[in-house]
Structure 1
């Protein structure tokens, strides 16, 4: 077996990606195994970091899970605990695709937790709780794929995820509550397992458990922040009673989380690893939206870790057996080529011309590749520098634009400042005028108020005086009435006295008393007049008082309204004054801040531009240096190429010689193939031609098997390879054709399998020859397959030659029907020429009916052939016949039965018109024709399309055959009746003895006929039994041509 050394050199470069992938997997495997080990110590951060970096390099977690599931997770509790810790870190900080890649392993994590839950002490319960937490996290991210692994979201991102829908807020809040419950349950179990002694946190076993709570604390702070924001949004959109359960659940989690942070902060182990927030003493009051303004997001921060010591993982790459680019370039020179070949393989030295050709081609490819890489690298560096320069320029322009806008804004503010001051002064003047007006209105209001009070007091005095006057008037009225009564009494007394003629003294006394009373009455009348005058003056004073009071109240109300409006105006002016003063102070502060900010930003942009220009200059200098190095290396390679050009010319000349020899050898092989084909054509036998092809292929493979190396045997190899390939292909085509024509499915499948095996073996041999390898065993195996295919194809060809196809049988049936019809027509012509009388009439009717029947059968056979032609072309029909052997055998059997029935009908018709005159045979033969045609129709209809026109014609032809058969049977019966009438016995001239003798002969004849009938029926039954047995055996293939 021959091999070349230079392809192996090139193979190292072709498999570089595979080597890098293998190296990456080796690095990741070692890092994962170091991170997840069975030692009860905390997981080393550097190994976890290497694993996380690997997920970003791979952009998935496939390698991690491939290694992790092979770890003894179910055997070692420490390994299971560290696996949960590393997986949690990977889901939080790994590539985003880690969440999707981990979804398929949820069942494995659940089963792991169910396994370790049976270990109720130590790590068993902790692993179970951690597995539940991981499953909860994976399911949460599966339902909410927009949540990142570390759960860090801004308020806008949270609103975008929930789509500002209160239902989504509600659902996400419930899921986060479940997530938080799992975290709090795990941390409580971890602290319970450590006990109350804080010193446990400084032991290796305690730190192994506590280290896993760091990602849990990071998740808990983010979940707490999301829950607070979601609850405030829910309380803003839903009634408070609806969210009472949420508030109670949050309150319980708030207490547990606060206790968790306080407990963890007090441990010495956590002080240098993470900083935990301090939650407020009371949870937020979600019923007051103003509390959200005082809410502070808790942050769990992890300080930067010092660089780890060098790890053995960094030296995973074993470069002892690899070859650097410089070594390869040295090895590709002519001085080091032999040494390199000796070092790589102990195989014999290859052809120096081919080696030199491949070496030159390899160097040219390397030169082109290096030039391309140099141009691409230069373009990349220039493009990067241009993009950075353009980006910095754009940032500078943006900064200048922003600075100009700020300047414009400051200028506008500066221009607006005098106007604001002027407006402020005007406002102050307006305030002063308003104040003065207010003071005047206030004085007038005070004066009016005092006057109103004085008037009220005067009214009180007038009311008192009026009351006194009313009392005096009442007394005077009463006194007047009393005096009037006394006067009336006295007048009556005087009248009485006068009537009684009293003494004069009494009269005088009464007169004087009456005079006094009259004077008193006059006085009272004067007082009454005075009282009426006082009453009128009092009513006038009362009316005047009411009018004055109403005017004063109206005026007082007007002044109060004006005072109120003036007070409101004054308050508005004061408030506006304060707002203008505040706005002026803010504008001044903003103007000062903008000036400082614009100055700092401009200085920053200038510094960034200078740094960028400096960086571009450094990149250009570096690119120039690399360009000079590449040009120098290019010059060396061009010198090497020039030195090899002469060798290339010599190699080309030698190659042309070898090419001419190979072409000549190929021409000889082609000439030999053509000669064999011409000989086979002259012999006129396809079997001989294909047998010769098999022999040539076997001989060529045998010649290839006898060669042990390529060098020096190029012509023989080319000739044998061409002969083997061509003749194997020819043999395959012949075998395929035979297989398609074969009716034996098992033999056909065997032939196809052997043919496929032969071609595969031949292809493998030629591929090995193409690669420069010669394997005698494979060539011998291919030669055996060629001979096997040749023998099987010959056997199948012999089987096909001995059997007729369905199309052939149908064609033969058509010819047989034509021949039978011709014979019956000839019989009819002979009967008409030679017979007469009753015999001519009987024979004519029967033969006419037989001719009609044969015409109907002929039409049915033609329709049957047309129906078969509709199934496809001959190759398609042959394939269908081969795939359905029972159906094809049924068609062949039906065709043979029709031919047999037609021949039987001809024979019976010949006997009927002959001397014997047996008409019953014609009826039996007609029934046989009808039965065979019905069998043919049934077999033809089995595979025909349902709506086919030839099928409809075949059905109509079958009905015509049945009608013609009935006509034949009717003609036979009519002919028998006519003969019986003609041959009727005349008993008029018979004597008694002759009559008895004939009667006895008739009885004997009847008994003989009955015996013959029974014997004939037994014979018919035996023939039918034999017929059915032979038909079944022929269908099963155990009987051929009636022989078992």
Structure 2
């Protein structure tokens, strides 16, 4: 019964806190998605403000990053730009924890910038620079965590951060310079993207870009202030030469920042959003500390939003009741009459405003504290709920385990009883052994203590004996000295023949001294005897001590092993008791701490425990039933033996049937083996035929012939499959046809893939791919029908028709690709055309020298010599270009490269054609210059055309050339020679024109007044005609250039042929 109610308990409902958290996340997600959208309009401040308020409510930026990383930042450039803008605002004005929460996303911001840097125009470069700025800001705050996000610091706070250390000032100044560089780079890129038209600032697209510079301007002013203060500190402590680099870098940033503020102040868009400071005309002079006294901190101010926008946070934090009550109380106090004179109403109003502001701050702090306490309570309740859920799950698992154990115990009861008996016997034996070892250990310990005490007494005795021996030795020495003195006295007395009484007295004294000496000698012998006995006792004591220690060690080890065994048994018992007590304590704790919901859980847990007890009771009852059933089983066993005899008889009959079935199985296996052998032989024949056909096609034909043969074989194989309806009876034929069809259609698809890859016509390539895919799908359906044992003829016929159609389209596309002229052919034609043009100019030079004279010969000779030099340089350049192409590989390799890179090859062919056209134009212009017309201006225009076309050829050749190629170096040198020869030709044309004009100068000395006026009028008319013709010619030139650019673009895209779109 209890197990049925456990799932209902596990399905806990969401509480109000979870609902509130879900509502908050939904509100934040909506605000962030509205702030960061794909519309090219400025970010709305109300959505950004809602996001910032959410960070203060959550006290982190976790929700913001959770939503931001799911936005399409890598797909939409507008979304990426607005993401950078909102993230910058979040780091500046959000909760202080936003800086720490954003550190782990530095890698994502860097990768976003690296992605958009490939889009070199528009927002790509701007997003890259803004990502660099955000990464620089995050790394700066990671290195300097005491800097706030808005960078607003007082002078005291700045000194405290730098710890008044010159090294810290120096390093901090460098980091601030790097930060400022990123801001200045971003603003320069934004203004460059807008262009010089100031009207862009009032359009939605312009405002979308300019709005992001507002937080940049705020950061820049604070960075400028910090840099000025730090540089004055550094110049007060370090020599000026050391800080020269810092001054130069500050000077450059000062110019850029001043230009930024002036440029932004001139825009109408910024006038209503912020007030920018005006920097002085010259930067501060850091070499004079007195300039710091006149320094004024630049401040960027932003007007306060309207009152209706300030109250927008009311949906998040409701303080209306408290605010209204406090306001009413203050207003009542303010309106209450007083006996004193009326105070100044302005002062009272200011006092009331200050009081209300303080009250508002206090209430906000209380609200934030309540929010924090609520979040803490929510976290603790969630943890408690998770613990309760885990305990419920564990209880359910334990209940299932107990049920499983009960079932196992029902089977293993006899073994468990036997093991329990053996365990009890082992425990008794271990206990007895432990008691014996404990008694032996106690006895050994007492003996060891006794020996230690005896050793102490012996040590004391030996010390006293040593002291007595030392005293006896000193006494012996003293007596020996006295004896010697007395002997000397006796000798002196004998020499002096003193009286006999004195001699006798001295003799008696000598005898007494000798007796004392003998006694001292005896005591010395006794002392030596005691020393020997003491040493013997020490040796015996040491031996006994060692033996006792060895015994003690052995007994201790055995005691430890026994103790460990006993401790393990006790520990197991204690663990069971602890587990039981823990369950009881959990039940009691759950009763005391939980509500009705937890009481139900406890009751269900108790019911589960009761159920376990009932299961145990059932186990005992089942055990008794098993014992009763055992008797019945014995009787059944006898009946089973009788039935076994019957089964044995039946088994002999089945064995005979089994032998017959085995013979049939062997025959079927032999038939299957024969069929498999035929199929393998058939597969080998097909493979050999395919290999022979491929070898024959390779040796005698081309790749196209091989593919054509493959397509024919595939069509024949599919036709053969379509003739068969059933697979059975036609296995070999169906197998051969299926293998031929699969192999040859695969070969045809590979050929079509190669043709479509090298085709320059995208529509044709897509058509070939579509037809190839349809052919393969039709072949697949045809082959899949073989699995069912029957072949669908319509599928095979459809596949056959698609194979033939695809082969026709692929062959046509291949012929179209092969029919195009190659780059090598165009280069060869270009070389021939240049040689012809050079020979024509040489012939013109020879004809001019033979048929002209005077100034005309001089002018034409200089021009044709310059043309010859230019054509020689162009000829060398063309030869070097061909050599550079030859370095790319053999003709087959180059042809493959041209087909794989159609745009590059078309560009190279276009450049070669342009060189040929310019050379022919130069020959024509030179012919006209030396002819009757004598117009040398066409030669100058043709020379410029030659220089432009050769530059195009050099650029196209350099695109695929190796950078270290010698031919590329020679080609570059030849290009410079062509440019030099072009300049020489233009100079020769100008000099010739000047020489002709000097010769044709008008002689006015013989003209009358009337003739002079007539010639003047004619000159004016001619000049007006020439000006009109010049304007018309310029308009014609502009139209031709426009058409030229259009045709060149169409030709690059492959949409023009023979001058027709």
Q: Same fold (TM over 0.5)?
A: no
Which one has the largest radius of gyration?
1
* TM-score normalised according to structure 1 size: 0.40
Bigger RCO (CA 8 Å, 6+ sep): 1
